[in-house]
Amino acid sequence: MKRLFGTVVVALTTVLTLTACGGGDPLTSASTGPTGSGDASAAGGKVVVGSANFPENVLLAEIYAQALEAKGVRVEKKLNIGSREILYDQIKSGGLTVLPEYIGSLLAFVDKTTTAKTEDDVLTGLGERLPAELEVLRPAAAEDNNSLTVTKATAQKNGLTTIEDLVKVSKDYAVGGPPEFRSRQEKNFKDTYGLEFKEWKKTGDATVDALKDGTVQVGNVFTTDPRIVLNDLVSLKDTKNAFAADNIVPLVNRAGANDTVKTTLNAVSAKLDTAGLLALMKRVSVDKDDAAAVAKDWLTQNGLA
């Protein structure tokens, strides 16, 4: 990723531009980090909470781990492990007990042919495709997903709150995103919303800057990218699921996750929404606050610690 907010952020990393179908999937795109032990199970009541090696996933793992500790669960943290290929094998084998996941990306990983898009359909697919050792718990409302995003001025001028609202102005608008964005999404947008743009531009990591300077009027920005808050942008609601649901969910190894673990993690999911996660990610990636401290604050504010 190039420089993001003037001189404010250098290390927001590729994490915030690699999610879902617009620019990849952070758990499979992340480079390999320390792997931890593959045979350290949750035996003896210990729960092993793992994470991929990007800031958002580390933060979510901290939230899960501290919530469990607050309920008296003995927790070991193995953070910054690496990509989904590594993580999936470890949680399936019992080397990890709990992992923050993304439902649509996880389903695409275990079922390469899936066409599921709604949250219910994706969860049904996971129920059918996950091995017996694994289970997804309650998904959060929070999603790290693709969006079509506009400036606040554009939204107010044209009464834009949903992607469907774009239909009335899109033929006069340029849209920006990763190099592969047009090939992946042009037909999808037309089929789902009847949406057509005047021009498609390959803005890549500079999509937010292109929105700000008017090079494009619509951009592919991910829903937990702190630049949405910093630049007063508006992510339009995807009411017809052009983008597959990618809600955040605890993935657990059944043998290591008892009722206390499941109830605690479900309580976390019940409180976590996209706006809240976006605010937390601003603290981590922009303000450079420690992820463990940010997690603690959020849990305390939500009565979970």
Give 135-194 pLDDT, tens digit per residue.
999 999 999 999 999 999 999 999 999 999 999 999 999 999 999 999 989 999 999 999
C-alpha–C-alpha distance, residues 296 and 246, integer Å: 25
Q: Does pLDDT of 29 surpass 80?
A: no
Here the tokens at position 29 are 């795109």
Q: Are 16 and 178 in contact (CB under 8 A)?
A: no
Helix ranges, 143-258 (H): 152-158, 181-193, 207-213, 227-230
Mean pLDDT for 128-133 is 97
Cα separation of 76 and 79, whole Å? Answer: 10
Q: What angle do CA 208, 213, 217 make, to 5 degrees?
A: 70
Q: 207 or 31: whose pLDDT is higher? A: 207
Helices (H), 254-290: 259-271, 274-281
Average pLDDT along the chain: 88
pLDDT at 16 over 80: no
Structural class in CATH, domain 14-143+245-301: alpha beta
The CATH number of 148-235 is 3.40.190.120
Q: Taking a C-beta distance cutoff of 8 angstroms, is the pair 272, 248 a contact?
A: yes
Whole-angstrom CA distances from 43 to 152, 252, 253 are 51, 14, 12
* E-strand stretches of 98-182: 98-102, 134-136, 148-151, 174-177
Q: What is the pLDDT of residue 28?
A: 59
Coil, strand, or helix at residue 188?
helix
**What is the number of residues in the chain?**
305
- What is the pairing mode between strands 218-220 and 148-151? antiparallel
**Domain limits, the chain:** 14-143+245-301, 148-235
| pLDDT at residue 45 in the model | 79
Average confidence (pLDDT) over 191-215? 96
pLDDT digits (tens, 9 = 90+) for 78-123: 999 998 999 999 999 999 999 999 999 999 999 999 999 999 999 9
